[in-house]
Structure 1
């Protein structure tokens, strides 16, 4: 292994860039749908060895000497995000005539931008670089910090944070309750970088022991937490949830000629009788923007919904909501969840607060529209973000935390100031991405929100993957990607014991401090050896 490490450290030019890109791309095997987390035991040692040899000439000053480390991290990130996000280009092919020109921007441009974050991470780590365990502590701290920064800079896009790669199954998800996905990102990089110490010998025993202890604690806590949940004798609620997955092709979704057929399909699925001996559903859930029209343009639709619902049933559906503009301003459209009772009355609603840039709205809209650009998901017009978020009241005494589409990837959006609620409600439309890894990755990130909050997750997706997840992250009912149908599940109850987000933030900060102190002590020790 020492010869391999030396060869990688001494690589330069194109070979170095290719190695970094390949290591980043290989890391994606740890993500859904592959879930081969052991891939990180190869990719991160390669990154460490590349950084061992990444230092510019002393006469170039600090930034000049840091440049090779930045380039190494950028190429690693570019490989990671190209291999992990290539499926975003599928959304542009739904309307290829209007958006195919932007395919390189989605498949290569966005990964190139996101790779800047990893370039900054490796640059920060290089500032504290040493020749032992301290350097993997520095790398872990830098990645943990940068994944947190990635969650809010430029509106935030924490998709596929490194920490998710170490959580392929419920027993390996429970640590997120304590340290969150950003704390897990720091620990993941530390643990999976540890084999690099074998290739350079110094600090190998201490580093491998620390990594082994952390990995064992990670899995051990998973078993403990799941057993604790099972022993708490959580009884299911009285609510029986029916998830409707219509699998409507995205290209037909807003076709005027298809709207009646789509609506009838949703009604027919919803009216199916329950399986023999099973209770009828109390809450029927349709996906994001399931209604293929504006309710104000189709007033008879509420009557048809009322006719379909039995007494005591409630429909929860995604829809586009319309508001007239004030004082001559243009109308506003919202990506909304409606709650409709058995008399066809709208008894609750929640609007999406965190919109997708370029997908649901245009940054610098006036300028970009003059250049002829429009949002990818524009049907009636660009969407407007909600002014506030709050619990969505549901019949049966339930309070839902609304998470529309990719709001589920933001940990802070699963916690509300006005209450914890009874469940997380995630309506999405992943039909944009076809039969690709995207929907699998989206589901995994939504699962982690259930673990962090210890609340059940109800997830309805147009083309999949729809699921009901218990507070331990375990899927208790689902429909696979691309399959049309329904399933009924008695809603699990939330756990009584849970950690507040501010505790996870504190624990995340503590991990970063410990890793930085470890890196500083190691660097000081190195300097003393060479004095």
Structure 2
């Protein structure tokens, strides 16, 4: 494989970005993740740091702007461009560092196995490090678009139980890098090694999850008008979920789970909403877990999940509100650029401090509100808190009939496998699913129709290696990338 003309490399990089996006829902053709990484590496061959940055940023723009185009539905192009371009620049910086490894690594490790194996490992480690950093920074990061998340339905998805999300991203990147390096070295017979590596990934059994019992969950999707620009009568979203719940009175139910914002009137403030929840809970003979917006004595607002019987018996306040959506960081600064968009965020949600694990009828349930499900740290907290299942309550109404809800569902599926916990992914508008600890769909409701899921949901207290080692895995991978890059940059003494 030879160095490409700059314009051809730029074109190939854009193709690689679109290929990466095609690995995610709604296209959901997972092999394209490997193709996208391979094409990007080829476009970086022979590039200088800054031309690699241009090429890589172009790939990142193609990937990110197509992946998150759902942001434009109601908010227009500005937030979409801002987030997409920021992520593309991070992508470009990562590509520049990878280009150093591609172009100088073979002169640092001169034997065949070094040129192929070590170079591939460092490339994949730097890719994973870039994902890890942008998942937590800036403003708490954006844990979306990671290679691992494209593999939630692939034959290697179970590997995430061993190595976590970062480790699965590394496995995808290193496999593609090995193919690239073998073809670059013109040792085509050695293609057997990356192929064998992929076969091994498929053959490795998932970590054994011990099921300790089940709990009967009724999850209700109200198909409500719950978007930012929907202006229904107060209590209408609550009534949608009451209407879907009451027909199940008399069934054997341990908990009722409604989505984020399902109670559009705070029952801690409204006697009518409180009475409604109490009445439904008594008729069902089970506590209701519902999302709502609460306000404390200091007038702080929270995106909350309440467990309700005849009163609130447990509460989780969202630990990581979404910047630029649920709160506006540096409001005055950003308002100088786009005052009309900044002013759409009329109230800033505060950062919750309560545990994200609650006791529901003797079952320890982990609560994940909307984008919480993408946050690795909160997953570790759920498992550390003893969660036996995860209730992922979300409101996707602002994104209409785009692929956003399917992308979030894929993340929820991967999280179920990674943690070894069933996930009840329940949305106001869908797509809603109950997912087993091994990633299978137990029950589902299509998007944009009302529906209910009543299922015996498996419980588990098994600690997967991914959860046991937590961030140690991703920072070890990142350290390998930093050390490898440093060894390449350090000149050898003559």
- Whether TM exceeds 0.5 here: the answer is yes
- Contact 1:27–1:80, Cα closer than 8 Å, also in 2: yes
Aligned in 2, Cα 1:292/1:518: closer, same or farther, shift over 3 Å?
Answer: closer
Indicate which of 400, 412, 415 corresponds to 2:377: 412
CA–CA distance in 2 between the matches of 1:18 and 1:376? 39
SS in 1 for 2:260: coil
- Paired residue for 2:206? 225
- State whether structure 2 residue 177 is matched by structure 1 residue 177: no
- Paired residue for 2:394? 428
Aligned in 2, Cα 1:501/1:217: closer, same or farther, shift over 3 Å?
Answer: same
CA–CA distance in 1 between the matches of 2:230 and 2:265? 8
Q: Which runs of structure 2 are paired with 1:80-119 in the superposition (5 Å)?
A: 80-92=63-75, 103-119=76-92
Aligned in 2, Cα 1:487/1:375: closer, same or farther, shift over 3 Å?
Answer: farther
SS in 2 for 1:27: helix
- Of stretches 309-318 and 292-301 in structure 1, the one that deviates more from structure 2 is 292-301
TM norm structure 2: 0.88
CA–CA distance in 2 between the matches of 1:147 and 1:20? 18
Indicate which of 128, 147, 150 corresponds to 1:162: 147
1:108 positional shift? 2.3
Aligned in 2, Cα 1:297/1:508: closer, same or farther, shift over 3 Å?
Answer: closer
SS in 2 for 1:250: coil
Q: Which runs of structure 2 are paired with 1:505-520 in the superposition (5 Å)?
A: 505-511=471-477
TM norm structure 1: 0.82
String of CA shifts for 1:88-135, please: whole Å, max 9, x gaps.
Answer: 11242xxxxxxxxxx222332211100122222122222323454244
- Paired residue for 2:110? none
CA–CA distance in 2 between the matches of 1:300 and 1:166? 45
Indicate which of 5, 8, 22 corresponds to 1:11: 5
String of CA shifts for 1:48-86, please: whole Å, max 9, x gaps.
Answer: 22111312xxxxxxxxxx111222221111111011111
Indicate which of 45, 53, 61 corresponds to 1:78: 61
Give the aligned CA root-mean-square deviation in angstroms.
3.0
Q: Which runs of structure 2 are paired with 1:336-375 in the superposition (5 Å)?
A: 336-341=304-309, 344-368=310-334, 372-373=339-340
SS in 1 for 2:302: strand
- Looking at CA atoms only, which structure, 1 or 2, has the larger radius of gyration? 1
For structure 1, the residue ranges without an aligned partner over 5 or more in a row are: 56-65, 93-102, 326-330
- Contact 1:236–1:490, Cα closer than 8 Å, also in 2: no
CA–CA distance in 1 between the matches of 2:435 and 2:263? 25
String of CA shifts for 1:125-154, please: whole Å, max 9, x gaps.
Answer: 223234542443332111011111111111
For structure 2, the residue ranges without an aligned partner over 5 or more in a row are: 107-114
Q: Which runs of structure 2 are paired with 1:204-223 in the superposition (5 Å)?
A: 204-206=188-190, 208-221=191-204
- Contact 2:212–2:461, Cα closer than 8 Å, also in 1: no
Q: How many residues align?
A: 479
Indicate which of 41, 44, 52 corresponds to 1:48: 41
- Paired residue for 1:294? 266
